[in-house]
Amino acid sequence: MLPAGASHAEISAAFRWRIPARTNMGVDACDKWADGTGRLALLHVAEGRTTRISFDALKAASNQLANVLRGHGVQAGERVAILLPQVPEAAIAHLAAYKLGCIAVPLFQLFGEDALEYRLADCGAAVLVTDQLGLGKVAAIRARLPALRLVLSADGGDALDLHTEMARARDSFTPVDTAADDPALIIYTSGTTGSPKGALHAHRVLLGHLPGVELPHNLFPQPGDLMWTPADWAWIGGLLDVLLPSLHHGVPVLAHRMAKFEPEFALRLMAEHGVRNTFLPPTALKMLRAVPNPQRFGARLRSIGSGGETLGAELLDWGRASFGMEINEFYGQTECNLVVASASALEPLRPGWMGRAVPGHQVAIVNPEGSVCAPGEQGGIAVRRPDPVMFLGYWGQPEATAAKFIGDWLLTGDQGVMSEDGWFRFVGRDDDVITSAGYRIGPGEIEDCLLRHPGVAMAAVVGLPDALRTEVVTAVVVPAEGATPGPALAAEIQALVKTRLAAHAYPRQVHFVEALPLTTTGKVMRGVLRRQLTERKAGP
């Protein structure tokens, strides 16, 4: 998708969207590569075995499943929920749903019954493709899901067997002729504030993601590339930052069911299977940072991309020292993803800055009235419509959809700053920005500074109500192994921020905890932290 060029400016000037009026994600991500050559699509690692799955096999299997669904009366536009980890059946279910003109609804396997019931009921899912783990959770809520009429299991249990049903079906299928703007996918937001909302995306969303994948992976794809992420395919980061764009380009994807992120195992996995490109969320990077001498595992990476929380100098320095390369950053959200990125292949990175607008996207900093801010002025990060990665709207919530916009600007809900030459700096969520003694302070750069202390494993920064300062900067720290939490460590942390960052930004309160509350996508839930600390202060 990106044209050739020696600089970001040159590529941006030459870029033009080439999205056909009619396109289908299932065909685009699979069928065009199924030419009988056995080209590798998935490398599935499970229980000590590695299975190689070609695009030919992926096309045949997704065609079979599409025929199974059609045979059960499933029609275009109906919702097909997919409750599976990183396994081939998850990819097959997505491709089959798209080919049939249905709307895929990926669901995270670690969701509990309440979370699953809310999402399945909200979208009115007619089909669920899952496994025995998912069946156990859904059994308790099935009676309250009247729209759910077909359940298929990938590994047995009290449901129709997915593989048995597929084996009976033909492996030829004529995909539904879908328009680029036809709905294809609902991904639910993390729900850090309020109930999760279903972001409805069109078939064009895959093509819209390509520049935002190609840029931070240093002009992806290149010969020999192989992609992996620990991020679950149920989230936009795993599905549309990794799986589907890689398949679009004919690049194989490593699939592995990882119940929890184990940094040493991840390093061995990447080395053993020749992973060249990886998306590692900041939480994973921070866990990898605790592994001594990660070079000893022998990973031969060409690109590392990260997003979801802003990176700082500490993690960038660690990446250079550990892998001999820069960690490129990208930015977006479920409703409008991969619109800002950096690319060390084109220009030096700037610690604390996310990157520039990805070619094809109009990104700006706007004030509450929707006017574009001057360079250096803090405001809301916004994206202008129309844009191919932008959602069609929240499922069944037109008022919430309308509230997401000011005129033609989609408001991300994040605060940021743009430099004179177009680099963006993430300051924090609208509700995360701290107002203290007249200063507006973003938590990200303080958290990055805290990570410089050897006694800090993870850290989050929030603002707590204060009669004098409006809010007081408060650090919540997970101590590193061997560190002793207490007043002495707190004083060292405070002094570090005073000297390395700014006196007005140092945390006047420091709390030590065993773990931080995280969303299922690994983002710190600062709202939960604020509530916990406020309740603790108000307690007896």
Mind spelling out the 3-state secondary structure of 149-184? Answer: CEEEECCCCCCEEHHHHHHCCCCCCCCCCCECCCEE
pLDDT at 186 over 50: yes
**Residue-wise DSSP of 416-472:** EEE-TTS-EEEEEETTT-EEETTEEE-HHHHHHHHTTSTTEEEEEEEEEEETTTEEE
pLDDT band at 508 (very low <50, low <70, confident <90, very high): very high
Residue 467 pLDDT level (bands cut at 50, 70, 90): confident
What distance in Å separates the CA atoms of residue 132 and residue 447, rounded to the nearest whole number? 40
pLDDT tens, 278-327?
Answer: 999 887 898 899 899 999 999 999 999 998 777 778 889 999 999 999 99
The single residue listed with the structure tokens 């995280």 is 518
Question: What CATH architecture is 21-202?
Answer: 3-Layer(aba) Sandwich (3.40)
Mean pLDDT of the chain: 93
Render pLDDT for 418-451 as a digit per residue (tens, 0 to 9). Answer: 999 999 999 887 778 787 876 767 788 788 889 9
Mean of the pLDDT values across residues 9-24? Answer: 97
Using CA atoms, how far apart are residues 88 and 73, in angstroms rounded to an integer? Answer: 24
The mean-pLDDT minimum among 410-414, 527-531, 533-537 falls in 533-537
- 412: helix, strand or coil: strand
- What pLDDT score does 522 carry? 76
Percent of the chain clearing pLDDT 70 (strictly above): 98
Quick check: 220 and 249 in contact, CB under 8 A?
yes
The average pLDDT across 214-235 equals 96
Phi-psi region of 224 (alpha: psi -120 to 50; beta: other; left: phi over 0): left
- Tokens coding 513: 């905890």
What residue type is assigned to position 352 of the chain?
G
Question: How confident is the model at residue 315, as a pLDDT?
Answer: 86
In the chain, the amino acid numbered 196 is P
Topology given in CATH for the domain delimited by 432-538: GMP Synthetase; Chain A, domain 3 (3.30.300)
Contact 267, 243 (CB under 8 A): no
Which has the minimum average pLDDT: 14-28, 51-65, 232-246, 506-520? 506-520
Residue 244, token pair as written in the block: 């589907």
What are the beta bridge partners of residue 365? Answer: 381
Structure tokens at 15: 């870029």
At 527, the pLDDT band (50, 70, 90 cuts) reads: confident
Q: What is the pLDDT of residue 115?
A: 84
- Checking if the pLDDT of 18 tops 90, the result is yes
In the predicted structure, residue 194 carries a pLDDT above the cut 70: no
Q: Write the DSSP assignment of 249-313 as a string of letters.
A: TT--EEEE--SS--HHHHHHHHHHTT--EEE--HHHHHHHTTSS-GGGG----SEEEE-SS---H
Do residues 501 and 446 lie in contact, with contact meaning Cβ atoms separated by under 8 Å?
yes
pLDDT at 192: 46
Q: Which residue intervals of the chain bear CATH 3.30.300.30?
A: 432-538
Integer Cα distance of 41 and 35 in angstroms: 12
Weakest-pLDDT range from 23-32, 227-236, 515-524:
515-524
Mean pLDDT along residues 105-114: 89
Angle between helices 487-500 and 443-450 in degrees, nearest 10: 120
Most confident of 411-415, 463-467, 518-522: 411-415
Mean pLDDT of 36-60: 97
Please say whether the beta carbons of 238 and 435 come within 8 A. no
Q: What does the pLDDT look like over 119-150, one tens digit per residue?
A: 999 999 999 999 999 999 999 999 999 999 99
**How sure is the predictor about 191, in pLDDT bands with cuts at 50, 70 and 90?**
low
What is the average per-residue pLDDT within 395-424? 96
The pair of three-digit structure tokens given for residue 264, joined into one six-digit string: 């040493």
pLDDT, tens digit (0-9, with 9 covering 90-100), for 329-383 = 999 999 999 999 999 999 999 998 999 999 999 999 999 999 999 999 999 999 9
Is residue 538 pLDDT above 70, yes or no? no
490, 396 contact by CB (below 8 A): no
pLDDT at position 19 over 70: yes
| Per-residue tokens: 123 | 């979208």
On whether the CB atoms of residues 122 and 395 are closer than 8 A, the answer is yes
Portions of the chain given CATH number 3.40.50.12780: 21-202
* pLDDT confidence tier of residue 466, bands split at 50, 70 and 90: confident
pLDDT, position 337: 97
pLDDT at 468 over 80: no
